[in-house]
Amino acid sequence: MNRAFIFDLDGVVVNTAKFHYQAWKQLAQSLGFDFPEEKGELLKGVSRMESLEIVLEAGEMTHLKAVEKEVLADSKNRLYLDFISGLSNEDILPGIYEFLLRIRSEGYRTALGSASKSGGLILRRLGIENLFDVIADGLSITRAKPDPEVFLTAAEGLCVNPGNCVVVEDARAGVAAAKNGGMHCIGIGKEEVLKGADLILKHTGLLLEADYKSFF
């Protein structure tokens, strides 16, 4: 079967968004300002350097040199890796493991499509790396969502036409990236955030009830 599912990571496979936020908040505090939780929503689906710009803007630190920003981004990543060091299969979001087993048994190929540079590491810690045929993450792309590069890279690795791919996403930028790449999209979360998705589910547990075969 030349059809596939491409999964975002944060908020779809595992809830690591909270760890990203905690790491950015701790970095901000080290710089002398606070990064409120409501602003953490702006970080979903965007790259590390774009996230850094959002954080620095909140602290009115917008005139740093590129080399200084790289140092801060690396510091944040070390904090993040510390936060996720205790991940296990118990952290997989509801229904995802069962859904992966089902669609793979039905012949669909599967890939990860995430801006995170730790995608492969996280899947290994969750114990589900073997359920993904391809990993496309921040280590293999240069353009962040809503650019479709990460999903197109995954589709190319899977040898599946973009029109035969279904992206599972929880962020506005991710939905836009999927549609920009000519793919179907299942949104996980709030309808007002995920406008443009072909199907919107309130949570991942509902994937097992979704009529995904109607996309093809």
**Do residues 186 and 198 make contact, with C-beta atoms less than 8 angstroms apart?**
yes
If you search the block for the tokens 């949104």, which residue do you land on?
187
State CA 69 to chain mean position distance.
22
Cis bond upstream, residue 148 (ω within 30): no
**Do residues 193 and 1 make contact, with C-beta atoms less than 8 angstroms apart?**
no
Question: Would you give the DSSP letter of residue 94?
Answer: T
Catalytic positions, written as ranges: 8, 10
Other beta carbons within 10 Å of 91: 15
**Do residues 117 and 84 make contact, with C-beta atoms less than 8 angstroms apart?**
no
Element (H, E) at 110: strand 109-113
**CA–CA dist 19, 57 (Å, integer):** 20
